[in-house]
Amino acid sequence: MIRESTVLSSAKEFLIEALQNINDKKLNFAIVHSVTAAELVLKERLARIHPTLMSKNIDSKDLIREQTVSLSNLPQRLQNLGIILPPKEAKLIRTFADWRNQIVHHMPSFNIKAAKMQLPQLLDFISVFLRRDLDTPLEAFLPKQLYKTANGLLEEWGRVVSTAREIAKKKGNVLPNACPDCGATGVLCLHDDKKVHCQLCGSRQYHYDHCVECGRKTVSVFSSFDNGNYCDDCIDAAGDAYIQMLIDIERGK
């Protein structure tokens, strides 16, 4: 994998912000950050040919002060260099570029429902472009806490999960449980009878054991209370019961 450049590092920050905005239901911010991430990954592709190609006017005598090529012109710039974006992808980029301009410079007039439906397409384009053109798999690009968000949004993430499942099958002892960290199923392998290793996010902090409270065998963080293992559901229930007890005491019950 190619070492991250400043441009690619910035693209990562904007993509992470976009996914967090989606979690927080902040559509306008999600669009702005997603479009900026797309713009930066496309410019990164130009920079890998030559940094000068990111400039709007490559013949400028003062390239340091020269503006970079606009997002709407990036598909054509790439095409002129033999990097062809499918028409659907190029159109999607131009659509979101227009929406970003509306958000930043005007009152947004685009269809919110359409934007919500198309935003995952833009994010999926970014993830595909990262792997296909920048040799940067999405799972290496995102922090683990955003894997669940990506899993619910991106078609490309299905390929990532499928690969992890194939690795898990080869290693054997695959558990049916979902990974508590990344939310994927079919990626947890059991080692040393109780230790669990996720082949997708790499988590190793969980155990597979009987819960001393409910008796279910489950994947959970190992607890040393009374030298036993408590599943997450029972820990949550105990926490709820404790809070309710405090409320009852406060109310004089």
Q: CA dihedral in degrees (67, 1, 160, 190; nearest 10)?
A: -140
- Does one domain contain both 12 and 130? yes
- Contact present, 76 and 87 (Cβ < 8 Å): no
14 and 114 co-located in one domain: yes
Say if residue 67 is in the same domain as residue 137: yes
Q: Give me the number of domains the chain comprises.
A: 2
Asked, for residue 231, whether it belongs to a domain, the answer is: yes
Range of the domain at 219: 172-249
Question: Quick one: angle between helices 112-134 and 27-49, nearest 10?
Answer: 20
User: Hey, what amino acid is at 102?
Assistant: Q
> What pLDDT, in 10s, does the model give residues 124-183?
888 889 988 999 888 888 888 888 788 777 776 777 788 889 999 999 989 988 887 676
Distance CA 89, CA 25 (A): 24
Buried (b) or exposed (e) across 47-65, using 16+ Cβ within 10 A? bbeeeebbbeeeeeeeeee
In a domain, 160, yes or no: no
Asked whether residue 245 falls in the same domain as residue 184, the answer is: yes
Taking Cα atoms as reference points, which of 164, 152, 155 lies closest to residue 126?
A: 155
Helices (H), the chain: 6-23, 27-49, 74-80, 87-105, 112-134, 138-141, 147-153, 155-171, 232-250
**What is the DSSP secondary-structure string of 92-157?**
HHHHHHHHHHHHHHS---S-HHHHHHHHHHHHHHHHHHHHHHH---HHHHS-GGGHHHHHHH-HHH
CA-based nearest residue to 144, from 129, 126, 164: 164
133 within a domain of the structure (yes/no): yes
Q: Give the pLDDT confidence of 52-106 residue by residue, as tens digits.
A: 888 888 877 777 777 888 888 888 889 899 988 888 788 778 877 877 777 777 6
The whole-number pLDDT of residue 113 equals 66
What is the rounded average pLDDT of the residues 201-213? 78
Residue at a domain's end among 93, 125, 142:
142
Q: Examine the domain organization and report whether 181 and 232 are in the same domain.
A: yes
Same domain, 242 and 199: yes
Q: Is 21 within the bounds of a domain? A: yes
Measured between its terminal Cα atoms, the distance across the chain in Å is: 62
- What is the predicted pLDDT for the residue at 111? 62
Token pair for residue 236?
């949550």
Q: Which of 124, 142, 160 is the last residue of a domain?
A: 142
pLDDT, one tens digit per residue, over 19-58 is: 999 888 888 888 889 989 999 999 999 999 998 888 888 8
For residues 138 and 230, state if they share a domain: no
β-bridge pairing 217-221 and 188-191 = unpaired
pLDDT of res. 230: 66
Mark whether 182 and 125 lie in a shared domain: no
Query: Do 113 and 41 belong together in one domain?
Result: yes
Are 51 and 122 members of one domain? yes
Q: Quick check: is 17 in a domain? A: yes
For the entire predicted model, the pTM comes to 0.63
Answer whether residue 122 is part of any domain. yes
Q: Is residue 210 part of a domain?
A: yes
Q: Is 94 inside a domain boundary?
A: yes
Are both 109 and 34 inside the same structural domain? Answer: yes
Domain termination site, one of 122, 142, 162 = 142
Give the pLDDT score at 170.
93
Same domain, 244 and 180: yes
